[in-house]
Each structure stands twice: as C-alpha cells, then as structure tokens.
Amino acid sequence: MITGAGRGLGLAMARALVAQGCRVALNDKSESQLAAALTELGDCAVSAAADLSSVEGPALCVDQALAGLGHLDIVVNNAAINIENDIARTTDALWDMHLAINLRAPHLVVARATAALRQSRGVVLNVASELGLHAIPNNVAYVSAKHGLIALTRALAIELAQHGIRVNVLCPGTMDTDLMQECAAASGNPKEYYAVFNEYHPLGRIASPEEVANFAITLVSPLTAFMTGSSIAFDGGSTAGRVWRAV
Amino acid sequence: MSAMPKRILVTGSTRGIGRATAEYLASQGADIILHGRHREDVDAAVARLEAAPALVSGIAADLSSRADIAHLAETAGEIDVLINCAGIYEEQTLEGLDAQSWARTMDVNLTAPWLLTRLMLDGLRRRRGLIINVASDAGLLGIAGGGTYCASKGALIGLTKALAIELAPDVRAVCICPGPVATDMMTQSVAAARDHEAALNQWTNYAPLGRIAAPREIASLIAYAASADAAFATGSVWLMDGGLTAGKRI
C-alpha cells in the first residue's frame, strides 16, 4: 500500500514495485491522478482512496487496501503536504493540516495495519525528507512534522520489532517531480528556480523520482532485512555539511 | 555565569524540571512568570518563591486549549525568554490506540510551544529574545509504547531548528533533551508498574551513568542556555541524558 501515489515519488514507487511483481493499493487525495495511476497499472493496482487528513481516513485507507489485496506485506507512508509560510503566516489550520497528514496519518495507518503486518512479518517505509534532519527558513510546520515522523519511526520500530515488523524512514532531497515543475513555472523564472535547488545539493543536481523510488524499494526488500528504526538520507549530500565555494 | 535576562516565562513550572528551572532562575535574579494547569498549584509555586530576589507571578492555563494559550501569552506580556517545559506522557501502545491521547500529547508538547512562540514573537523580536524548548531523549530514540510522546518530542526538536533558522539573528532557539530525571512523571511511571522496585531499578540503569538526574541538574543547563554566555547557540540540541543516546553497553 502506498499513500500519495497519484504522482511524484509515490507513483514512481508504485511503478517500481509493480515491475518487481507486486500488486499495489494506491491512495491519493486527487481523484483524477489516482484514477490515472490505477488505469496505468491495470490489474496490478487497487484503490485505497481515503482522506488522510481526517482521523478516520487512514484506517479506511488500510481497510480498502486489505479488501483489494487480501493481505499486506509493505506499507509506504508517502503522502504529505508542504505549504511554505513564515511563522506569522502559519495559521492554526495550516499547522494542524501538516501534523494531520504528515505525522498523524502515518501513525494511524501503521496502527490499523499492525495486525496484517504481523501476519506477513511485513515492512513499513515512512517517507520524511531531508527537512526531517535539518531546517530551512519559512517552513516551520513541515520541518516540525517531518522531524516528528523520524522519531515516530524509531518508536514504531522498537514497538513492532517483537512481531518481526520493520519500520524505516527515507529522507530524500529535492526531486524533479510534477510539483517541482509547477513551482518552477510559478516562480516566473524556472531556470533560476532549478539552479537554486541544484546548487542547494552538494552533488549539484536534484534527484529524479525514479532514482529515489529504486532506492526506496531496496528499503522494503529482503536486502535490508536487518534494518529497522533507521533514517536514511538520500539527498545529494544536503544534510552532510556545507560546501564552501571559492569567492 | 553572566547576568540572567530580565523576564522569563517557564511553562509547566509548578513541578519537575520546570519548577527547578524557575526556582534556580529566580535565585539568579530573573523575573519569573510561572505557569501550571491548576490555579492552586500555581499559587503554591508563587508562594514558594516569596523570598526570591525577583518579581514572581503565576498564570494558570490548560495548554491543550488554544484559548488558554492565548490567555497565557497575553497575560504574560513581553518577555526575554520563553521556556517551553510543560509536557505530558501517556503510555499508548498501537493496539490500545486512543485518538484523544494523541491529540492531547501533540497539543501540549508541540502545538503549545509553537503557538506561544507565534503569539509572543513581536516582543521576543524587540528584546532579541530566546526560546528554550525542553524535549527529551525520546525525541531521538524510540520507546516501545511511547510512539505518541516520541513523535511529539521529535517534532519539537524540528520546531526548534526551524525557528532558529527562520528567526535568526533576532531571536534564538535552543532545545534541551534530558534523559531520565526524578520528576513526578517518573514517579507516576514507577507507581504504575507491577514491581515498583524493578521499575525504579530499570530507570536507574537506563542511562550509562547508572543514575537518575535531579531536576536541578537540568535546570542548570537551561539557565546556562538562557545566559549571555550561550549567546552564539541557536538551533542547537543539547543532550543531558547520562549517555543514554550515545549508545548501549553490551
């Protein structure tokens, strides 16, 4: 089951898992993008449509995935929102929405999926961000929620280890997703927008969703069977340190 | 240590680390605004500090209520240092999941520090102030059955970093992560155990230093963070956990 699978990293992960022979249950808040993803993946995909911002939605999402797939081996909590604002403009509603989707929903999804994952001795992958490891200005709600998701991952890993369930968290850097392209277009100067983000990462570029997805499926595969409670940066060196440019 | 800033609000200061912090800061001459959930606890805390060489006042507010948080911010007025010490821990295994417990823990441990910061920001900016968030080793390490608490404290570490980056250079933000400390929270956890002695023994040996810290020890670090000696620190996460998060002994 993958949340936020209508586009971007979630869709790339769905494609990669289907290519490995998995059947997938997909969730996305956009009905049209979810429908397009389900059409593309055909018989290999079922819908797990639910509103993850609500208290009831995450359980509904898991229930639909179980109804459609019969059992669950892998749960990927990928859905997130990121609405940048300085602290003065981060309203109560905006703060609550970030915590609900980016932090509470993964918690409630895992809580609902625990029984099924115990049967399959399954694995959970939470998708945080490099911003779960450090901060940038004017993004206080997102940074807080993603730091919380890393801590939640560790707590879940410790609690569920006794049942053979692994829980890890991936912290990607910036990816060249549809969202990135939309933001670049909206900036009025797409070339400059991309240049800023390329330079932000020491490797001098942003990632493709496909390369992050390929790495992510390693984290839910038997190759990483001894890994649990780990937070893994995949960020072009962004959180490793600072680059001094000669001036 | 350098002179203390003038006006400091310490949330959760009728008990535990908050109380020790408020008492220590007041003894150093800082004016203290105490906070607790219940009026009678706040009054008792104010009375205990009667002899302090500083102005001491107290405000009662339930930090799970946004109206109460607004009341607290407004009544406290402009301050130099905001110390977010109030926190709650509710054991909550995944099987025994309680949505209200999640909401309550997030409200008190995370949303209250954020909202207080936002509401008091203008004054903190004018005074080139400081925010000290008291998180926990649990923000860095997982606890089985403590997922909600861990998530709230990990997010509080993230909030501290985000505030530090966004508000520099006017306002600084520092996070303190205590390990096991002899507070009411710990007493309750020991009392709730089937074998009290085994529970206390487990707490005592939880950190490599093999003892439980006194609240006063954490108060000293918080006071240092609040002093001018620590003026270059922002976005920092300071562990004082007896080595708990450094690793494990085999």
Quick: pLDDT tens for A221-244: 998 999 999 999 999 999 988 777
DSSP code of residue A206? P
Portions of chain B given CATH number 3.40.50.720: 7-178+214-239
| d(C-alpha A147, C-alpha B151), whole Å | 8
Residue tagged active-site, from B24, B89, B149, B224: B149
**What pLDDT, on a 0 to 100 scale, did the predictor assign at position B246?**
85
CB contact under 8 A, A155 and B163: no
| d(C-alpha A108, C-alpha A117), whole Å | 14
Expressed in angstroms, the distance from the first to the final Cα of chain A is 49
Residue A183 has pLDDT above 90, yes or no: no
In CATH terms, the fold of domain B7-178+214-239 is Rossmann fold (3.40.50)
A148 → closest Cβ in B93, B141, B155: B155
Site from A84, A97, A143 to mutate, B interface, most B CB atoms within 10 angstroms: A143
CB contact under 8 A, B66 and A155: no
Q: Nearest-CA residue of chain B relative to A153? A: B142
Per-residue exposure over B43-52, b if at least 16 CB sit within 10 Å of its own CB, e if not: eebbebbeeb
Residue A184 has pLDDT above 70, yes or no: yes
Site from A77, A87, A92, A131 to mutate, B interface, most B CB atoms within 10 angstroms: A87
A113 at interface of B, judged by CB pairs closer than 8 A: no
* Interface list for B 157-176 with A (CB within 8 A): 157-159, 161-167
The average pLDDT across A129-144 equals 94
**What pLDDT, on a 0 to 100 scale, did the predictor assign at position B250?**
65
> Which segments of chain B have a pLDDT < 50?
none
**What pLDDT, on a 0 to 100 scale, did the predictor assign at position A104?**
98
Chain pair A-B, CB pairs under 8 angstroms: 133
| d(C-alpha B95, C-alpha B66), whole Å | 29
A140 → closest Cβ in B93, B102, B163: B163
B152 at interface of A, judged by CB pairs closer than 8 A: yes
Residue A246 has pLDDT above 70, yes or no: no
Is A194 labeled as catalytic in the residue annotation?
Answer: no
DSSP code of residue A42? G
**What pLDDT, on a 0 to 100 scale, did the predictor assign at position B59?**
98
> ipTM score here?
0.79
Instruction: Report pTM.
Output: 0.88
* Interface list for A 20-59 with B (CB within 8 A): 55
B154 at interface of A, judged by CB pairs closer than 8 A: yes
Cβ atoms of A45 and A18 within 8 Å: the answer is yes
Q: Which residues in A lie closer than 8 A to residue B163 (C-beta atoms)?
A: 87, 140
Residue A245: pLDDT band (50, 70, 90) is: low
List, in sequence order, every beta strand (DSSP E) within A12-66. 24-27, 45-47
For each of the domains in chain A, give its residue range(s) and CATH number, in order of start: 2-172+208-224 (3.40.50.720), 176-206 (no CATH)
**What pLDDT, on a 0 to 100 scale, did the predictor assign at position B3?**
67
The average pLDDT across A95-124 equals 98
CB contact under 8 A, A147 and B154: yes
CA–CA min distance B84, chain A (Å):
15
How confident is the prediction for chain A on average, in pLDDT?
95
| d(C-alpha B157, C-alpha B178), whole Å | 12
A95 → closest Cβ in B93, B114, B138: B114
For B49, B104, B222, the CA distances from B38, given in Å and listed in that order, are 17, 17, 24
Q: Is the dihedral of CA A196, A125, B111, B143 positive or negative?
A: negative
**What pLDDT, on a 0 to 100 scale, did the predictor assign at position B189?**
86
CA–CA min distance B211, chain A (Å):
23
Residue in the block written with tokens 């993008």: A33
Residue A61 has pLDDT above 70, yes or no: yes
Contacts of A54 (CB under 8 A, 6+ apart): A100
CB contact under 8 A, A104 and B102: yes
CB contact under 8 A, A147 and B118: no
pLDDT tens-place string over residues A3-19:
999 999 999 999 999 99
For B177, B202, B242, B244, the CA distances from B249, given in Å and listed in that order, are 21, 14, 13, 10
